[in-house]
Amino acid sequence: MNNPATTPPGLSSCSGALTIELDLQDPAYNPVPPAPLDRETAAAVSGRIAADLNHILQGIDHLAMVVPGALYDQTELLRPGFPLLRTLEDLFRGGLRNTDFSPQIMALGANRGYFPVPELNPERRPNSGPLLLLPFILIGRRRDLLPVATTMENTLLQQGEVSPATRDAVQSAFGLRAASMSYATIGDLCALLQVQLENAGFTDLWRLLEHALFQRAGVLGIRLDSGNRYLLADGKVYAPFYTFDAWAQLGPGRTLAAGQLGAAYGEWLRAQRQYTLTLAAYGLEIKLVLGYPELEQDDAEAAFAAAQAVAPLEGDILLETVMANAAGAPERHLLITNQFERELGALAYTVLALDGNGRTLSLEHLYPLRPEGLRQIIEQLRHRGAAAGVDYQVLHPPTLVYSATGRCLESARP
């Protein structure tokens, strides 16, 4: 990947990474990625990588190389506009005096586990996955860099064998045991991600990621077979969210037979969670908005404008009030239904409030918009019952409870 716009005048860059695949079944596997290296250790590892690349690419001594002493998962490296790589370039540019260029290895080390430049600090999320990446950029005068960049794109993935000395240095420095190591360009990593997603049936997810990663112009509108809609521009994704009632009556499920609603809404919500969580992990800004017809129009730019015109859903919970306790009568019993789908778990909680005579006071549905929302709903319901001394009962039916005629969620009965 060439980045001529961000390097000093007359210079260009190309990027790659040392890929480190871990064996999740290895007893030595640590689910938390290792901490960044100090300056001295980072320099030693960078020297080994430079020696490998010098051999593979038939000479890079006339180029500069910037290497952070840290490992990242691919969601940290493959983000819109590749900000981590831009930071590496900016650090190199900032080290130049009067735009003079001289080939050198800039190895970036951490102090007590952290870089002084916050953008370089890896997130080190537990269970990040089996693939960790050690990125690097090569910088040089454009006429000198172009042949190297071309060779990298054409041969690095196929011929980028890591030397035993580099393998040992990396494993020792980071305290891990790798199943395999190889070199790849950023383009290679994107192509591998594309193949991975398409083989898993997520072609549209790749289309969204590609549009964002390479900062394509214009609005990209995607509609999945399950009815989910995504509108993307400038790294920002608008995604309509439907409660079951709105989905079944007015949204993508409105044309389905009543008997299909439970399974189809589960499929819609599964795709919604998979796409929003994955897009957010790759650094896209997700804006959930309540679904309505203007967001479903085929004109993507018009739909995107409509999405921008409404307030996004804030917080981790959506409350849908079907029947309010207008008189403010005291609640004596809460009948709480865990609206459950076998593969997804809790889709929503239906809360039926009753008075002392068993009469209905209110009916509400609480939806978790994000993973944290489920815990918050449970805490809210416990507090609601405890604060007023209200008796409550939680029911766990094996599937969604809804009215076939009303096409709406209902409370289960004991």
Can you spell out the DSSP letters for 174-243? HT--EEEEEEEEHHHHHHHHHHHHHHTT-HHHHHHHHHHHTT-SS-EEEE-TTS-EEEEETTEEEEEE--
Tokens matching residue 209 = 């990621």
Q: What local confidence, expressed as pLDDT, does residue 211 receive?
A: 97
C-alpha pair distances (Å), 74 with each of 32, 189, 303: 15, 8, 31
Q: What local confidence, expressed as pLDDT, does residue 28 receive?
A: 86
**Each residue's pLDDT tens digit, 330-387:** 999 999 999 999 889 999 999 999 998 999 999 999 999 998 999 999 999 988 877 7
Q: What is the residue whose two structure tokens read 């997700």?
A: 286
Q: What local confidence, expressed as pLDDT, does residue 8 receive?
A: 55
Average pLDDT over residues 11-20: 95
| 5 pLDDT higher than 80 | no
C-alpha pair distances (Å), 230 with each of 249, 261, 278, 338, 401: 20, 21, 13, 28, 28
| 164 pLDDT higher than 90 | yes
Tokens matching residue 268 = 């819609």
Q: What local confidence, expressed as pLDDT, does residue 98 receive?
A: 59
**Each residue's pLDDT tens digit, 301-322:** 999 999 999 999 999 999 999 9
* pLDDT class of 327 with cuts at 50, 70, 90: confident
Q: What local confidence, expressed as pLDDT, does residue 4 receive?
A: 39
Q: Determine the Cα–Cα distance for residues 27 and 25; give it in Å rounded to an integer.
A: 6
pTM of the model as a whole: 0.91
Q: What local confidence, expressed as pLDDT, does residue 9 receive?
A: 61
**Each residue's pLDDT tens digit, 195-222:** 999 999 999 999 999 999 999 999 999 9
Say if CB 387 and CB 372 are below 8 A apart: no
Q: Determine the Cα–Cα distance for residues 156 and 151; give it in Å rounded to an integer.
A: 7
Q: What local confidence, expressed as pLDDT, does residue 128 receive?
A: 85
| 1 pLDDT higher than 70 | no
One-character DSSP codes across 18-70: EEEEE-TT-TT--SSPPPPPBHHHHHHHHHHHHHHHHHHTT--TTSEEEEES-
Q: Determine the Cα–Cα distance for residues 264 and 270; give it in Å rounded to an integer.
A: 10
**Each residue's pLDDT tens digit, 44-59:** 999 999 999 999 999 9
HSE (side-chain half, CA atoms, 13 Å) at 288: 21
Radius of gyration of the chain from its Cα atoms, rounded to whole angstroms? 26
Average pLDDT over residues 273-299: 96
Q: What local confidence, expressed as pLDDT, does residue 17 receive?
A: 97
- Coil, strand or helix: which one is 121? coil
Q: What local confidence, expressed as pLDDT, does residue 11 receive?
A: 87
Average pLDDT over residues 30-53: 96
Tokens matching residue 155 = 């041969």
- Greater model confidence, 102 or 111: 111
Q: Residue 127 carries which DSSP code?
A: T
Average pLDDT over residues 382-411: 91
Q: What local confidence, expressed as pLDDT, does residue 138 receive?
A: 97
**Average pLDDT taken over every residue of the chain:** 93
Neighbours of 216 (CB within 10 A): 13
Q: What local confidence, expressed as pLDDT, does residue 99 receive?
A: 63
C-alpha pair distances (Å), 181 with each of 17, 136, 184, 223, 319: 10, 15, 10, 38, 48
Question: What percent of the chain is modeled with pLDDT above 70?
Answer: 97
Q: What local confidence, expressed as pLDDT, does residue 250 receive?
A: 94
Average pLDDT over residues 86-109: 85
Q: Determine the Cα–Cα distance for residues 251 and 246; give it in Å rounded to an integer.
A: 6
Q: What local confidence, expressed as pLDDT, does residue 136 receive?
A: 98
Q: What local confidence, expressed as pLDDT, does residue 264 receive?
A: 97
Domain ranges of the chain: 11-187, 201-308, 317-409
